[in-house]
Homo-oligomer: A and B are copies of this chain.
Amino acid sequence: MKNITIGEVAEQAKVSKSTVSQYLNKRYEYMSEATRKRIEAAIEELNYHPNIVARSLKQKSTFTVGVIVANILHSFSTQILRTIENDLNKTGFHVIICNADDQPEKERNYIEMLLAKQVDGLIIFPTGGNIDLYEQMKKKNFPVVFMDRKIEELGIDTVMLDNHQAARMAISEFVESDYTKISIITTSIIRNTSPRVERIEGYKAAMTEHGLPVLPEYIKTADAEDLQGVLQELFALEAPPEAILAGNDIVLIEVLKFAKEHRLAIPGDVAVIGIDEVSFASFYTPPITVVAQPTIKMANKATELLLEQINSENKTARTAIYRLQPSLIKRDSC
């Protein structure tokens, strides 16, 4: 019923605890063949498994990292999560997944709990609402990497999309197809998260470059539940947009719903490009053109950076923001 300990193994094998410990840590150099066999047998017989918690207490390493996503509803998050989990497990780490739900208070809680649990590192999609905590970890040299969003002036490794480029690619694509009335819609969160801001900036820059006017009424931001209303407004305009850039998968879905309900032909009545690849893009009618994030590469990079931090003693770790390039997947919605 109860868990057996190293002591009981030692007893069973007629040796001392430390000898068993040696064995467990594969330091059998100074150990007779005979005792080794005995220990092996004892472990087998008792079905002994070392208590990692106790080991962690001593060794200061739990082989566990925490991942805090801003919002688990985005397909982007789950894709990233999937490959982080995969990468990290290969290295023998477990990952505790937490969903901050875009709420800084939740994020704060998670960070504190995870630190108290002595995780070896953290990958965070920061809400931006806990600068003090971020700074504290940075100062303590605790392994952290940010994903998707950057927090300026903090010097924390960050991997994110080249959002400017993502917006540009989409706009160029629209322009090539001779659309000029182009709208961008993003989901809003209270804080000005960098992806949202940057995508809008990129949109503006690209529009200007193409000699197109930047009209505020074409730039929309709303919570998921208000998206239909926003779309109503957009199409009630005197000059409704001919093309919509959906800032993420959730927006894209709402746009497609709207188009369906209002019998707007894509791309006839309105062209659409989404940021973030979605499961149905390739076989939708029409197939949806999309600017895809290199989620696998991003996740790989993040775990790589984190492991580097975890395994390096030197505090002179140079930090950087890694911007990965999006790719346009041309299909027929534009």
Residues of B within 8 A of A81 (CB): 97
Binds B, one of A82-90, A167-175, A184-192, A238-246: A82-90
B279 close to A53 (CB less than 8 A): no
Residues of B within 8 A of A64 (CB): 96, 117
Binds B, one of A44-52, A149-157, A213-221, A295-303: A44-52
Residues of B within 8 A of A116 (CB): 49-52
Is A26 positioned at the interface, with any CB of B under 8 Å from its CB?
no
Given contacts A118-B53, A253-B280, A279-B280, contact A96 B98 (CB under 8 A): no
Residues of B within 8 A of A72 (CB): 82, 85
Q: Which of A1, A54, A99, A280 counts the most chain B CB atoms within 10 A?
A: A280
> Copies per complex?
2
Please report the total number of A residues contacting B with Cβ < 8 Å. 48
Residues of B within 8 A of A62 (CB): 53
Residues of B within 8 A of A113 (CB): 52, 94
Give the CA-CA distance A140 to B47 in the complex, in Å. Answer: 12
Q: Which of A50, A62, A97, A115 counts the most chain B CB atoms within 10 A?
A: A97
A113 to chain B, nearest CB (A): 7
Given contacts A253-B280, A285-B260, contact A54 B57 (CB under 8 A): yes
Given contacts A53-B56, A64-B117, A82-B99, 18 further A-B contacts (CB under 8 A): A49-B112, A49-B115, A49-B116, A52-B113, A53-B57, A57-B57, A78-B78, A85-B97, A85-B98, A86-B99, A89-B99, A95-B97, A97-B97, A253-B280, A253-B283, A260-B283, A260-B285, A278-B279
Interface residues of A (CB under 8 A from B): 1, 47, 49-54, 56-57, 62, 64, 72-73, 78, 81-82, 85-86, 89, 94-99, 112-118, 136, 140-141, 253, 256-257, 260-261, 278-280, 282-285
